[in-house]
Amino acid sequence: MSLISVKDLTVSRGGMPVLEGLNLAVSKGEILVLRGPNGAGKTTLLRTLAGLQPAYAGGVVADPETVAYAGHADGLKATLTVTENLAFWAGVYGGHDITPALAHFNLESLKSRPAGNLSAGQKRRLGLARLMVTGRPVWVLDEPTVSLDKASVAIFAEAVKTHVGAGGAAIIATHIDLGFEETVFDVTPYKARHDVVRNDFDESFDEAFR
Ligand SMILES: Nc1ncnc2c1ncn2[C@@H]1O[C@H](COP(=O)(O)OP(=O)(O)OP(=O)(O)O)[C@@H](O)[C@H]1O
């Protein structure tokens, strides 16, 4: 049985359909990697899967409290320390131990540092460590490796493998090969017809005619 599925889903941005006719399902142990060019609609789809925006048509089927989402913004509290941030999220999600997350993402030496004083890559590591304290089965991740160095990418990939190996699942938009045994879902063929004109109208063209 799938942990999350969508049937004939249309997702939208600014009230306009971006992708339509989407059918997909993810079960325990599976990693689904979303591909498609910039602006294709991957973020829009992920945000809809995570329940951060409503579906335009069709729907997402998942039990409540299924998805943990990590998007472009890290969602960190700048004045709280690394430990306090993780403890905060553990509290929100139901009290999971933060020790393995601190250890796995090499955050122990930074644990008393306010999140606002971390480097971009360290912030990203903390944002991803947050996933481990949620206890949620489906990790929905939008370009999770941005700002990460090679070693941190490997640490992140290991966390995902461990999570899915323990019966979780992940849906990830990424342009890089993370070495997973994954199912690839290219969103390109699902581009909504209504979106064609708007997407083809690029900014330089716009500038030239102001
Ligand atoms: N706030 C907004 N209002 C209207 N349209 C938007 C808004 N944000 C994004 N879009 C448009 O929606 C479409 C889908 O964007 P989305 O961010 O989902 O693409 P993406 O596949 O994640 O791109 P990337 O690979 O660049 O991150 C794009 O054409 C984009 O320009």
Give the pLDDT of residue 200. 45
CB contact at 8 A, 150 and 112: no
CB contact at 8 A, 111 and 102: yes
> Taking phi first (over 0 means left), then psi (-120 to 50 degrees means alpha), and beta for anything else, what does residue 183 get?
beta
CATH of 1-66+139-148+170-210, one of 1.20.1530.20, 3.40.50.300, 3.30.497.10, 3.40.50.720: 3.40.50.300
Give the pLDDT of residue 205. 42
Question: pLDDT > 70: what percent of the chain?
Answer: 92
Q: What are 184's strand-pairing partners? A: 33
Mean pLDDT of 92-103: 92
- How far apart, in whole angstroms, are the C-alpha atoms of residue 6 and residue 22? 7
Q: Residue 15: CB within 6 Å of ligand 1?
A: no
Q: Residue 71: CB within 6 Å of ligand 1?
A: no
> 12, 22, 42: which to mutate for ligand 1, most atoms within 8 A of CB?
42
Mean pLDDT of 196-200: 47
Give the pLDDT of residue 96. 86
ipTM for the predicted complex: 0.93
In DSSP notation, 36-100 reads --TTSSHHHHHHHHTTSS--SEEEEEE-TT-EEEE-SS----TTSBHHHHHHHHHHHHT---SHH
Question: Which are the contacts of 107, defined by CB distance < 8 A and separation ≥ 6?
Answer: 82, 101, 122, 125, 126, 129
- 3-state DSSP assignment of residue 6: strand
- Predicted TM-score of the model (pTM): 0.90
Give the pLDDT of residue 28. 97
pLDDT band (50, 70, 90) for residue 105: very high
Q: Residue 191: CB within 6 Å of ligand 1?
A: no
Tally Cβ neighbours within 10 Å of residue 141. Answer: 24
For the cut 60, the answer to whether the pLDDT of residue 31 exceeds it is yes
